[in-house]
Chain A
Amino acid sequence: MKKTLITALLLSFTAFAFLGCGTTASTTATFDTSKTITVYTRDTTSGTRDAFFTGIAFTEAIADNTVLVSNYVEVDGNGSMITAIQNDIYGIGYISLSSLADSGLHAIKFAGVEATEANVLNETYALMRPFNYITRADWAGKTTQAQIVAAFVAYMSTVDGKSTIKNHGGIVSIAPTDPLWDDIKSNYPVSSQDNSAVTVLFGGSTSVEKIAEALSEEFSVKCGGFIAEHNHTGSGDGYKRTQGSEASGANAIDIGFASRDFKTSEAAAEGTFGTLCYDAVVLVTNAANQTIANLTAEETKRIYQGTNTIWKDFE
């Protein structure tokens, strides 16, 4: 009785192990063009979604899901989007360009332009957004922070800073004329002081958070060890908390970031803002689905609206 029970259990464990290992995404199925296009999108607060729907001129869909086709699927991040499309050969979605290389998905050209870093930098690829920074204009009583932030802004255009930005997914061009930090640090005497008691406040867009944190961590070591405090709450707070309505309040920050251009209502003072890098969005489908090679803004809008619902429409 005991032996049969043990062997039965062992057999069932091994059977389950094979069952778990055996299933992979259905790459062996032949592609049937009469199937419905399953539309994948990010959640309504995502900056990537904002960039995408602005780029295809479908701004009503940025914060509202009711204008989309009825069977859309909402995922919560780049990683989830990639996994979801890897599992669904009839799906179409959009991801950040920096995650395209490792995703194993098929990229679709936008308006005839291929999604590459070069095309983003020469501004021919339209589905892209700038990552901008903005610093305080009024530094009353915070002279050390002002100097550190000025040095930080200079750091972002050095080779060291740009490499860090690039390693964290930002699209930026490193020219041979760009200086090294060691060449220009003598212009910023604050970097040779001991700043370990100084706190610099960072904030703004969460899309830029990763890059901002990497930069501040790296730069802190080169600038007297200042403490970098990050509180990223959205692109809107980039201007608001440095020069806008909350600039002198409890939420004030020293340097803010935004994953879009500053609006006309966000009138930043001369010399306090700029672009640190670009981010691009790419339309992707499963690697086994090569039906579409190129889409215009109008066609993409029709897919996401539900006017064109089957793959046959794009053969």
Chain B
Amino acid sequence: MMQINKGRKHRTRSEMKQLIDRLTYAGLFIPALISASIVLFIVFFIAKQGVSPFLPSQYGALSVDIVSFFTGMIWFQTPNVYGIFFIVINTVYIVILASLIAIPIAVVSALFIVKIAPKQIGLVLSTAVELLSAVPSIVFGVFGLGVITGWITDIATFFGTQTAGGISTAATVLVLAMMIFPTICIMSITAIKSVDINLEKNSLALGASRMQTYFKITLSAAKSGIFAGIILGIGRAFGEATAVSMVAGNAGSGPTFDLFSTTRTLTSTMLLGLKETVGLDYDIRFSVGIVLIGIIILTNLILNYAKKQVGRYA
């Protein structure tokens, strides 16, 4: 019969292993818990200050009417009328356009870098893309203000329209497309590299051409990584403040669909004038922040759902 160990000073090997297992479990669980809590903490902090403009207890007669906040088409009228509906439309419109430009180019570039280009050129190109992703957003803003606005002015004169020196929706869309391209490209490169080579060989053996294989088999198999890149890229596009506030023009009203007119996004609304403002004007920016967080969560849910709907290979 086995003796119980209670009297002994040292543990048995299997007990040691169990102890180490439990400690490792805790060591992995606690950091994950902390990082998830940080997100909750941030959301809670923003929500606390963002709800205050709507509370009569805080601002009395000057509190903002929540219905007109969510349906308003003019950003600000003294003393306490704020409206963000048109800003939400503008932001979604700009991000959709920027993604339509950036996603195809990024995915096809990734395919080229991994599959078609010779190794050295692939290395050079992927290093260039990684460098691009490290460029800070203020540099993109200055680049947009200096170069992209010049291009837009030229295009606008070609079409006979007048723009405010190139500051327009089109400039914002181009700057955002340039900023999200590297994120999507790098994630797609990783995803495409990890596709099982046998899938492609089988497809080629069955008589498909190389291009058919790449587009129908490889991209479908890499779908999960590509979607992860798209989610990160679109998240960045929604959250980009510095570059956008420099090239958007910050129009005060109405959704802007015309590519050559000035526009306003949620992030540029939060950033413009932030440093010198106090009171209601300062707190309302937190409310805009809450709306932005809500939109990003919604977009992530939609994209995850879309990812499940596009078939699954291997």
Contacts and interface: CB of A to CB of B under 8 A. Distances in A.
Query: Which secondary structure dominates chain B's binding surface?
Result: mixed
Contact of A45 (B74, B78, B118, B273): B273
6 contacts: A26-B157, A29-B157, A36-B162, A44-B281, A88-B163, A88-B165
A165 B164 CA distance: 35
Given A20-B147, A73-B250, A74-B249, A45 B281 contact: yes
Nearest to B153: A26
Interface in A6-47: 6, 9, 20, 23-26, 29, 35-36, 38, 40, 43-47
A87 B276 contact: no
Contacts of B245: 76
Contacts of B145: 80, 83-84, 87
B60 to A, nearest CB: 17
Interface string B275-296: 1111001000000000000000
Contact of A63 (B78, B153, B278): B78
A214 to B, nearest CB: 19
Interface size class of B (residues with CB under 8 A): 35 or more
A183 interface: no
Given A65-B76, A73-B167, A23 B151 contact: yes
B273 A43 contact: yes
A74 B281 contact: no
A191 B111 CA distance: 69
Contacts of A26: 150, 153-154, 157
B86 to A, nearest CB: 13
Contact of A24 (B75, B150, B262, B278): B150
Contacts of A68: 252
A122 interface: no
Given A73-B167, A234-B278, A64 B76 contact: yes
A46 B162 contact: no
B150 A76 contact: no
A36 B162 CA distance: 8
Contacts of A6: 121
